[in-house]
Structure 1
């Protein structure tokens, strides 16, 4: 299927995609990248993001963000930016939707724990695991393993944050089967998805932090000049509104707008300077062509520092870090030592790969990484008889 409007020469054109590892007839209704987006949305791994940590572990309240809602927000921002830059919106969207697919339960705490547990067997890295999910673990047809996504989508998943100079075992295995040119920059749509992720978590983690009561609005204004400036503008536009619950969402919207506008201006300037005549020129540019302006990077640095100091390392968040790591490490150890506790399908994979290391450990790692927060807690309790996760670790919603 061809696009209804032309793309600039530096955009990724689905009609000129490098194709799929397993050739398939084209769809008469959707471009290759739109088809990839739909395959991802229908996958089990994507649905599991509903119960995976963004900041708060297994939150009971419905209003805090989890990996799924974060991914949807990133995709919306990425699609808007791609449209403004005349790039392929579907490709930007699918990379954005899938960018967190490889995260294990409990966010970065879970990843750190799984990395330590798997260190003797090559380690663990979430981008590499995302590639394993879409090329091997997530099977929707008997015709092949994985989702059989386009080369451009796999490239975006593997290196949307930039070139990968020293790939881990999972990315190296993919590179041996179907090279993704890991040491070059990704295409422009993947670069858009990466910065859409930055925009989303900068703005929405601030929103969740204020909503939960972990962050204080006055403190945020004092610590981050950009927040103070935006707050003053919000207050000026609505002088009669005194309720923070009505003004903070507007502050979040305005913060997103500032970052998006900066990205568009800086990216257009870089594209004009580099004058890429193909998507390959973007990959070979030697630097990112999708970027924030230096002034905006400087303005948002205090926000990132404030979020790290006041939210990500807040005592109520840190309190859950060690118990979460304990759950993941003990789950891995129990299943590695007793693989009979694995579900039948995973025991079959052990038989297929053989019981030699490192494959046995990597299959166990695949299984643990796919768990949601609540399933990991439940399985850990089943296997060990106890859970170190405190039930009281549930932030309140101060704005509701």
Structure 2
């Protein structure tokens, strides 16, 4: 327990915030990272995640995951790993909760459409947009724009998937205002948050895919050795258990196996790298928190199956195409009629500033809001009744 506590981020040693704050008002007994987490939870962007697509379009199905529930599940997994490793739980939780704030409506399909439509203004990247949201677009405070998160939280949010060697315009702007050492790896809390994201969506997408009837259980068992091994073990432990409960046990057990693998492999990599300080972690030149080679290989087989039989399935492909049409139509409409943008959204002068404001506005839309604006400005949408 707590084997890596010497490598944990310490709020008392934070590199601080971009803007000095007047702390004369009531703040409660919270340290810097706890305050960061709470600012994220109380943000408008976080609340909007409840109506943003994870895999299935958010308006359909009360039991399917959306970006909000996915983020909460990532936070649970990330915090559990951070606690066992002796890392800072609050910073890990903050990063897990914030990692998807920048997603536009309709998930990755919506992002692809927005990237195409904004190519003339530098494009769109959801991770960079998360930084833009918390650094600029959220405005709950009187003295500055953004949530004014601590350097460590911004660094982890920017680099949780690794060094950013070719930052786009949004990330470059944030880095210029508050340099985040984009060329290095982040601390272990951010690395744990990234692998917690993989564990959560791998397993919960199995759960949702089976629940929706898109994934075929027998094909999943036959095609993915990791699934078969766990399914056979559950069957041996609980003979006669009904399929629904076995599916729940499958997801639960696979999460447990993956988490255990990450914990052991992370300790092994840290020891092998001889990392003794957080700066050693940043300078290691490699990811120190992650799957073992054996688990990574099995997880890739699982991902290939999910892409082939769920994400790019015949059942979901028409929804993705229509979702991309909705986002593309909205972007083109706003380019032609920028007066539809709410007052105050355009920052700067010229067409590029307008187009980037369009990206900010559309990225902030929920699925339901995007559908409503399309119906109002352009015409009805043609999303199927299911998913």
Give how far 1:7 is off: 7.7
Residue number in structure 2 paired with 1:376: 370
SS at match of 1:348: coil
More deviation, 69-78/20-29: 20-29
Deviation at 1:149, TM superposition (A): 0.4
1:196 maps to 196
- Say how many residue pairs are matched: 383
Displacement of 1:353 after TM fit?
2.1
Partners of 1:201 and 1:250 in 2: CA distance:
16
Deviation of residue 24 (structure 1)?
Answer: 2.7
CA displacement 1:15-44 (0-9 Å, x = unmatched): 100110012367551110011000110011
Task: Report the alpha carbon displacement of residue 247 of structure 1 after superposing the two structures with TM.
Answer: 1.0
CA shift, 1:156, in A, is 1.0
Query: Aligned partners of 1:6 and 1:325: how far apart in 2?
Result: 46
What is the Cα deviation at residue 240 of structure 1? 2.7
CA distance in 2: counterparts of 1:264 and 1:36, whole angstroms? 25
Distance 1:286-1:6 versus aligned 2 partners, 3 A rule: closer
3-state SS of paired residue (1:316): coil
CA contact (8 A) 1:114 1:328 kept: yes
- Runs ≥4 in structure 1, deviation > 6 angstroms? none
Cα distance in 1 between the residues matched to 2:31 and 2:344:
36
Q: CA deviation at 1:289?
A: 0.8
Q: How far 1:6 sits from its partner (Å)? A: 12
- Higher alpha-carbon deviation: 138-147 or 248-257: 138-147
What residue ranges of structure 1 are gaps of 5+ in the alignment?
Answer: 396-400
Aligned to 1:353: 348
Please list every run of 5 or more consecutive structure 2 residues that lacks an aligned counterpart in the other structure: none
Q: Is the 8 A contact 1:7 1:13 kept in 2?
A: no
Alpha-carbon distance between aligned partners in 2 of 1:274 and 1:289, rounded to the nearest angstrom = 8
Distance in 2 (CA, whole Å) between partners of 1:53 and 1:8 is: 36
The answer for the alignment partner of 2:312 in structure 1 is: 313
Is the Cα–Cα contact under 8 Å of residues 9 and 276 in structure 1 kept in the other structure? no
1:324-346, Cα deviation, whole Å (9 max, x unpaired): 11111110111122122122xxx
Matched-pair contact (CA < 8 Å) for 1:85–1:264:
yes
1:163 deviates by 0.5
Matched residues in 2 for 1:381 and 1:236: separation? Answer: 53
> 2:78 aligned with 1:87, yes or no?
no
Contact conserved, 2:5 with 2:85, CA < 8 A, in 1?
no
Distance 1:277 1:25, change over 3 A: farther
1:22 aligned partner = 19
Aligned to 2:229: 229
Q: Residue 52 in 1 paired to residue 42 in 2? A: no
- TM-score, normalized by length of structure 2? 0.96
Root-mean-square deviation over aligned CA pairs: 1.5
Matched, 1:151 2:151: yes
Q: Which residue of 2 aligns with 1:398?
A: none
Matches within 5 A, 1:247-326: 247-326=246-325
User: How far is the alpha carbon of 1:216 from its aligned partner?
Assistant: 1.1
Instruction: Write the distance in 2 (CA, Å) between the matches of 1:385 and 1:211.
Output: 32
